[in-house]
Structure 1
Amino acid sequence: MLRGGVAVSLLALGACASVDQTLLDAQLPDPPAAWTASEALGDAPTGDWLAAFGDDALYALIDEAVRHNNTLLAAAANLEAARANSRIARANLLPTLNASANASRNAIVTDPAAAAQSGTGADLGGLRAKELEEMFGVDRDGDGRLDGLDLDGDGFAEAPLPNRRVYINNYSLGAQIQWELDLWGRLADETRAAYRDARASLADFRGAQLSIAGAVAQSWFALIEARQQRELAERDVTARESNLRVTERRFERGVASSLDVRLARSALGSSQANLAFRQRTEKEAARRLEVLLGRYPAAELEAAESLPQLPRLDGAGAPGEILARRPDLLAAEARMEAAGLRARAARKQLLPRLTLSSQISTSGPELADVIDPERLAGNIAAGLFQPLFQGGRVRANAKRARALAEAALLDYAETALRAYEEAENAIAAEAYLAAREEALKLAYEEAAAAEALTERRYASGAATIFNLLDAQTRRISAESAYIQATRQRVANRVVLYLAIGGDFVTEAKLAAAPPGAPGGK
């Protein structure tokens, strides 16, 4: 009967893989041969994607973040914990050996007189009354009570007989070995699952490195933009102040009206308010980056003068390649495999377990007794454990593990779809943002030329204050939008490298890589 039940269980276990594959195929469509957003892109960039920005300061910042960022250090600690947990799981496959050693000494206070009176019926510390009489004293007056100690053996007690303290020593040594034979591979499945967890933690660590590098790059470029916007606001304030001085002089000569003066003052106030906003934005951007670096957010970090000029993107690889490159996908895949192995191990809980155990022990009142072969005692036993009735706990646990495995599989499929979406969006945005940047550059250049022309016409009296303020506002707005578009294109390039699973290389990253990680020491 047992053999038939085992066969059915093993058949059920063998069917799990095909069911899971069917579910995965249903939820994860086959990727196309090329990205739909752009088919002209070639192979994915390899090596160090930071090199595309040509910014030595960015290298130094990412180096610092890799060494000091708390999120990354926490990921490294989680990796160590996962590796230790895998070693713990592997230990279940091996026998356990425990040893014990004890030494004790007990003191028993005895009354030799009372022992003598009680005759052979008293047993104090293993000594009879007659033995106590011979050891401790004599009955000098013949009343049946021990009166004192016979120290010199002449039959006369020299001192009153006190209560006596008897010491009993005991030494023991034991060892026990126990081993569960992995008949059905349950323990092996649990061990493999723990190793998959460690692999997932390694991917999480690599993903954390990539995420921190991306966050530092994005924050660095945001700080550069904030600096450029602040400098633009300062130039705007300077221009508005110049307008106000010119308008006031014209008003004093009767050439301009008080309306012109008030409009110039209003424009200056708006520019000063925008400058205060840009100054606050720059300080916040600096603090955000400093926190990523593990520094105190003192807003002391100074940005570069301009954003990098991007080279042309040569390629992004094929969609299917990101499944083997992106750390989050590798982690999700490892956790999916771990959940499947645990589901299989949970099903095997229904099968019988065979455990071997052996125990040896020895004891005695003398230390030499623990190594006396004649005192050695031991046993060896084997036990077969088969769950019969546990209120449905084992089967419910197996169903729960199977459901968790399916959830992990669906999480993997969803992570893959989101990865495809991020890459497609970033590839498509590469062209759109480049076109937008060029258009805004043209708008800015024409607005700057129009501003210069209007300033000359206003100085000659051919243009009004309205024309001048409008031209200056258009130029400021166009230049600000152009700076923002440039930063958005640079930021999207970072997003693209992260989406396709690009890597980066710095000395700090190599030093921070744990043993066993790619590039680790």
Structure 2
Amino acid sequence: MKASVMALSLLAVALGGCSMIPEYQRPTLPVELPTEQAAATTEAVPGWRDFFQDPALHRLVEIALAENRDLRVAALNLQAYQALYRIQRADRWPLISADAAGSRSRTPGSLSPSGEATVGNQYSATLGVSWELDLFGRIASLREQALEQYFASEAAQRSTQVALVASVANAWLTWQADQTLLRLTRETLDAYEHSLRLTQRSFDVGVASALDLSQARSAVDSARVAFERYSRQVALDRNALVLLLGRGIPEDIEPGWDQERLQLADLPVGLSSTLLTQRPDILQAEHALKAANANIGAARAAFFPRIGLTGAAGTASNELSGLFDGGSGYWSFLPSISVPIFTAGQLRASVDYAELSRDAQIARYEQAIQVAFREVSDGLAARVTYARQVQAQRALVETSQDYYRLAERRYRTGVDSYLLLLDAQRQLFDAQQQLILDQLAQLSSEVELFKALGGGWYAEADPAL
């Protein structure tokens, strides 16, 4: 018997390398790079600590990484897939169990051979071993699938981290921008109310017309509407940021539209194939593809026999005190083989399903690459155009300020009507609002480009990101 077990073990080791998994080949890149982008730099993207210059934003991101509930779910999913992999990996080894049992039973006289009631005892102690020989790689394929699913979950966690960092940054920038717009609206409303009081006095002495007074009141009402709108938006922005953080905003952090503090590091951008190793969502899609590819091997192996070895050895006695006496030992060896003969097409359908799932994962992988390159291309286009747009809008604000000062001077000296002054006030207010919105859009586009390039997760020394 020992020779037979040894021979089967050696056979299992010899055939253990047999695998039905198709050879994995990374799909061809489903995008065509423009010449100028394909030649762009591939220097590593900085981590978020280096990219963001604002210390307050650093604190907020650290809080979100520690408290955000979506990130906690991603971390728990990763641990769950790790546990599933350990479960699958355990199938390659023999399962050993130790059992002890005892029973005491009474047999009535009508059933006893002696015609008298008897009481019987039976005690046993057993060591059992069961093992499936993975001759055709079914268990190895399932183990490979579980491992790739774990890697995909790990990449998903990183993708969640990158998205969270970008979301916190955008929420922080939006809150600051709306706070600045609220202050601008308050200042403009004060100026309009002051102008209304002057116009009211002029009307009372017969200098200003009723039309001038009505226009001044209209400007005040319009500014009040904008003030309430931005007040509401600031509250909504704060609530959105609190949700991302997973807790309240520290009291010593207050928003402020400081262009020096809001500076972002330069991004060395490029659209080379190295982007594939920089985006966690693409890594996630590729690991999911590899898992589906490994599942094909398991489905193919199901066509072949499954061989199991089951053995037990122990001791048994009708008296507990004699359980380990000489001559009480026993053993059993039960090899088994299961060969599928007729499954009504179930096994063939399983292979078809596994192959179709693999093809679907290929499409998802290719789509992830296409989305990544589209997002980077959009970010590159936004970088150039927003820089020029903000510069032009800043020039418009300066021009509008000159126009307002000139219109006010001409109105006070009686050269022009109040309508011209009101038009200048509104134009300046609109230009100032638009400048803040354009600056916000420029910063947000840089954050989105940072995210599109992988978020710099690979550049972080901190294991949290």
Q: How do residues 345-424 of structure 1 correspond to structure 2 at under 5 angstroms?
A: 345-424=298-377
Larger Rg: 1
Counterpart of 2:52?
Answer: 53
Return the offset for 1:224.
0.7
Farther-moved stretch of structure 1 (489-498 vs 346-355): 346-355
SS at match of 1:235: helix
Return the offset for 1:447.
0.7
Match of 1:202 among 154, 158, 174: 154
- Paired residues of 2:56 and 2:253 also in contact (CA < 8 A): no
Return the offset for 1:312.
7.2
Counterpart of 2:388?
Answer: 435
SS at match of 1:378: strand
Which structure carries more relative contact order (alpha carbon 8 Å, separation 6+)?
2
Question: Per-residue CA shift, 1:15-63, capped at 9, x if unaligned?
Answer: x448x66xx33x7246466527xx6x53434332443431000000000
SS at match of 1:123: coil
- Paired residues of 1:75 and 1:204 also in contact (CA < 8 A): yes
- Paired residues of 1:353 and 1:385 also in contact (CA < 8 A): yes
Match of 1:35 among 33, 37, 50: 37
Residue 328 (str. 1) matches residue 246 (str. 2):
no
TM-score where L is the length of structure 2:
0.89
Counterpart of 1:100?
Answer: 99
TM-score where L is the length of structure 1:
0.79
- Paired residues of 1:226 and 1:282 also in contact (CA < 8 A): yes
Counterpart of 2:244?
Answer: 292
- Paired residues of 2:102 and 2:122 also in contact (CA < 8 A): yes
Which residue identity is paired with 2:330? A
Change (3 A) 1:124 1:183: same
SS at match of 1:484: helix
Change (3 A) 1:318 1:259: closer
**In 1, Cα distance between the equivalents of 2:236 and 2:157?**
28
Q: How do residues 112-511 of structure 1 correspond to structure 2 at under 5 angstroms?
A: 122-126=115-119, 169-295=121-247, 302-307=254-259, 308=261, 310=263, 313=266, 315-503=268-456, 510=462
Counterpart of 2:3?
Answer: none
**In 2, Cα distance between the equivalents of 1:32 and 1:177?**
62
Question: Per-residue CA shift, 1:358-417, capped at 9, x if unaligned?
Answer: 122433233233323412221113222211101111110111011001111111011001
Change (3 A) 1:56 1:365: same
Change (3 A) 1:199 1:11: closer
- Paired residues of 1:354 and 1:385 also in contact (CA < 8 A): yes
Farther-moved stretch of structure 1 (172-181 vs 285-294): 172-181
Return the offset for 1:183.
0.9
CA RMSD in angstroms, aligned pairs only:
2.8
**In 1, Cα distance between the equivalents of 2:437 and 2:207?**
39
- Paired residues of 1:58 and 1:220 also in contact (CA < 8 A): yes
Counterpart of 2:11?
Answer: none
- Paired residues of 1:177 and 1:357 also in contact (CA < 8 A): yes
Q: Quick one: percent identity of the two aligned structures? A: 28
- Paired residues of 2:100 and 2:124 also in contact (CA < 8 A): yes
Task: Give 5+ residue unaligned stretches, structure 1.
Answer: 1-9, 127-167, 514-521
**In 2, Cα distance between the equivalents of 1:377 and 1:121?**
28
**In 2, Cα distance between the equivalents of 1:395 and 1:505?**
42
Which residue identity is paired with 1:176? G
SS at match of 1:35: helix
Question: Per-residue CA shift, 1:232-289, capped at 9, x if unaligned?
Answer: 1101111110110110011112110111111111110111011000000011001100
Counterpart of 1:516?
Answer: none
**In 2, Cα distance between the equivalents of 1:386 and 1:369?**
43
Return the offset for 1:11.
12
- Paired residues of 1:286 and 1:300 also in contact (CA < 8 A): no
Change (3 A) 1:453 1:219: same
Change (3 A) 1:122 1:382: closer
Change (3 A) 1:312 1:60: closer
Which residue identity is paired with 2:161? Q
Which residue identity is paired with 2:75? A
Counterpart of 2:5?
Answer: none
- Paired residues of 1:352 and 1:384 also in contact (CA < 8 A): yes
Change (3 A) 1:213 1:270: same
Which residue identity is paired with 1:268? V
**In 2, Cα distance between the equivalents of 1:11 and 1:503?**
40
Change (3 A) 1:50 1:461: farther
**In 1, Cα distance between the equivalents of 2:457 and 2:281?**
16
Change (3 A) 1:364 1:353: same
SS at match of 1:461: coil
- Paired residues of 2:267 and 2:450 also in contact (CA < 8 A): no
Change (3 A) 1:411 1:57: same
SS at match of 1:482: helix
**In 2, Cα distance between the equivalents of 1:343 and 1:406?**
11
Return the offset for 1:505.
9.2
Return the offset for 1:472.
0.7
Counterpart of 1:65?
Answer: 64
**In 1, Cα distance between the equivalents of 2:450 and 2:201?**
56
Counterpart of 1:44?
Answer: 43
**In 1, Cα distance between the equivalents of 2:93 and 2:114?**
54
**In 2, Cα distance between the equivalents of 1:365 and 1:494?**
78
Return the offset for 1:496.
0.6
Return the offset for 1:121.
5.1
**In 2, Cα distance between the equivalents of 1:463 and 1:31?**
58
- Paired residues of 1:327 and 1:501 also in contact (CA < 8 A): yes
Change (3 A) 1:327 1:494: same
Change (3 A) 1:267 1:228: same
**In 1, Cα distance between the equivalents of 2:34 and 2:117?**
92
Change (3 A) 1:297 1:393: farther
Which residue identity is paired with 1:73? R
**In 2, Cα distance between the equivalents of 1:269 and 1:67?**
45
Which residue identity is paired with 1:46? V
Which residue identity is paired with 2:392? A
- Paired residues of 2:78 and 2:157 also in contact (CA < 8 A): yes
Task: Give 5+ residue unaligned stretches, structure 2.
Answer: 1-16
- Paired residues of 1:43 and 1:314 also in contact (CA < 8 A): no
**In 2, Cα distance between the equivalents of 1:17 and 1:173?**
48
